[in-house]
Amino acid sequence: MLNCIFHHCKTHFFIIVNIFRLILFFIFISFYSKTFANDINFNSTIQKPKSYLSKESAACISCHKERSSGLYQQWGRSKHFGANVGCYECHGTDSKAIDAIRHKDFFISVIVSPKKCSECHSTEVEQFNKSHHAKGVEILGSLDNVLAEVIEGHSTFNGQSPVAVSGCWQCHGSVIKVLPNGTLDPTTWPNTGIGRINPDGSRGACTACHQRHEFSLVQARHPETCGKCHLGPDHPQKEIYDESKHGINFYSQLNRMNLESSKWVAGEDYDAAPTCATCHMSATKELPITHDVGDRISWTLRPAISEKIDAKLSIMGEKVKSWIERRNEMKTVCKACHEDNIIGGFYEQFDNLVSLYNEKFAKPGNELMVALTKNELITNVPFDHKIKFIWFELWHHQGRRARHGASMQAPDYTQWHGYV
């Protein structure tokens, strides 16, 4: 009797197990076909997941699981964990690398540069390398730099200005220096500035947007990610976004943004609002994700006088993507939620504001400054006369704010923080 009941249970058990297997099989198939479809549509270069964690990474974890439990948990939540991409796959290095340190039985680098990421994510790295982000470190000769090095600062930190180290470089990037014992010079690291120059010669820090060790797409798609750098008096994109209708909808409908979804196309996977990533980076129905944030921009709003983004390079005879192509790509984003008339109308408003700024303020202001210098009424030394501060405030602060406000729909920045 007992045996029979037991037998009965066993049959039930097997039926349940088989149903369970079937369900798992379907989940697997749907997941697989989704990933596969993604690969075709969006040209992802992500390598196939590894089936086992390497023995090197298992060794790292044997110590770091306890020692760095927070870091270990972050990694444990990442897709890398699921794909068996462990500590050693990212931190492992050649013994001859400039920043190689001997660590227990291994050679490792603390810095995991874009060159390392490109072993598995080459498309993203190639696009990033073409972008203005990768040039972020090229500010040393700029007028702004005189502020950090001379006016506000002094070379008291291993020959560097503490203002540059903790200010400019944290956004733009440092030139990383390795000390003779293989550790990183503290004037140059910690630093995840966007155009950082790494010991292996590669540019940038993917961690500027993909925070370790979770590398979460939810976090990367969030406007706060860009807001670390894109804010403040001279480029308040974050504040502009927050007060725009897009920002309003984003914060009020956050639970409908579907930020966790692996595929994330406006109009298909979410519709509440676009984020910075949506407009400048994410895939549209027609276009793949881009890691060149200049791909969809037609004007450059940074210099004293705005020009079309391809103007300089075209004059030099270089073949670059035209501003019209870039603008059309941006329009494919808008089209997920708007019709042609409102998009066209928006661009007319924006173009007219930039032209007014150029003609009424920037060009005459620039001519005045050139004339003053030519007639030796002012010197060539930066910031040694009040008028130089006034001119700097005019184009670098108010002038940029007005243009940025108009480019992303924040009337207060265009008017009261801008034109006035």
Asked if 47 touches ligand HEC (CB under 6 A), the answer is yes
Residue from 53, 165, 197, 226 in contact with ligand HEC (CB under 6 A): 226
Between 1 and 381, whose beta carbon lies closer to ligand HEC? 381
Asked if 229 touches ligand HEC (CB under 6 A), the answer is yes
Residue 106 φ then ψ, to 5°: -130, 165
Q: Among 173, 188, 163, which residue's Cα sits nearest to residue 138? A: 173
Instruction: Report the distance separating Cα 144 and Cα 152, nearest Å.
Output: 11
Asked if 259 touches ligand HEC (CB under 6 A), the answer is no
Asked if 417 touches ligand HEC (CB under 6 A), the answer is no
Burial letters for 111-139: b for 16+ Cβ neighbours within 10 Å, e otherwise?
bbbbebbbebbebbbebbbbbbbbbbbeb
Asked if 157 touches ligand HEC (CB under 6 A), the answer is no
User: Segment near ligand HEC (CB under 6 A), from 5-13, 18-26, 219-227, 380-388?
Assistant: 219-227
User: Segment near ligand HEC (CB under 6 A), from 7-15, 126-134, 369-377, 386-394?
Assistant: 126-134
Asked if 61 touches ligand HEC (CB under 6 A), the answer is yes
Between 17 and 324, whose beta carbon lies closer to ligand HEC? 324
Between 246 and 417, whose beta carbon lies closer to ligand HEC? 246
Residue from 188, 280, 353, 398 in contact with ligand HEC (CB under 6 A): 280
From residue 126, alpha-carbon distances to 118, 171, 279, 293 in Å are: 8, 21, 20, 13
From residue 98, alpha-carbon distances to 129, 177, 322 in Å are: 22, 10, 40
Residues contacting residue 348 through CB under 8 Å, at least 6 positions apart? none
Residue from 97, 311, 336, 356 in contact with ligand HEC (CB under 6 A): 336
Instruction: Report the distance separating Cα 4 and Cα 10, nearest Å.
Output: 10
Residue from 300, 358, 398, 414 in contact with ligand HEC (CB under 6 A): 300
Asked if 330 touches ligand HEC (CB under 6 A), the answer is yes
What would you report as the CA-atom Rg of the chain, rounded to the nearest whole angstrom? 26
User: Segment near ligand HEC (CB under 6 A), from 5-13, 19-27, 270-278, 314-322?
Assistant: 270-278
**Pairing, β 106-108 against β 101-103:** antiparallel
Closest residue (Cβ) to ligand HEC? Answer: 294
The count of residues interacting with ligand HEC (CB under 6 A) is 129
Asked if 121 touches ligand HEC (CB under 6 A), the answer is yes
Asked if 310 touches ligand HEC (CB under 6 A), the answer is no
Instruction: Report the distance separating Cα 190 and Cα 208, nearest Å.
Output: 12
Widest distance between CA atoms in the chain: 113
Per-residue tokens: 94: 């050649």
Q: Which 235-254 positions form the footprint of ligand HEC (CB under 6 A)?
A: 235, 237-238, 241, 245-246, 249
User: Segment near ligand HEC (CB under 6 A), from 17-25, 112-120, 366-374, 384-392?
Assistant: 112-120
Between 377 and 384, whose beta carbon lies closer to ligand HEC? 384
- ∠ CA 180-182-184, rounded to 5°: 100
DSSP state of 262: S
* Helix count and strand count (H, E) for the chain: 22, 4
Residue from 119, 325, 359, 384 in contact with ligand HEC (CB under 6 A): 119
Between 233 and 364, whose beta carbon lies closer to ligand HEC? 233
Asked if 142 touches ligand HEC (CB under 6 A), the answer is yes
| Residue pointed to by tokens 């956004």 | 171
Between 9 and 313, whose beta carbon lies closer to ligand HEC? 313
Whether the CB-CB separation of 223 and 257 falls below 8 Å is answered with no
Beta bridge partners of 266: 270
Asked if 192 touches ligand HEC (CB under 6 A), the answer is yes
Asked if 106 touches ligand HEC (CB under 6 A), the answer is yes
SS3 392: helix
Q: Which 1-20 positions form the footprint of ligand HEC (CB under 6 A)?
A: none
| Extended beta strands in 264-405, E state | 299-300, 307-308
Residues contacting residue 48 through CB under 8 Å, at least 6 positions apart? none
Q: Which 342-401 positions form the footprint of ligand HEC (CB under 6 A)?
A: 343, 346
* Min CB(364)–ligand HEC separation in Å: 21
> SS3 breakdown of the chain: % helix, strand, coil, rounded to 5?
55, 5, 40
* Min CB(13)–ligand HEC separation in Å: 32
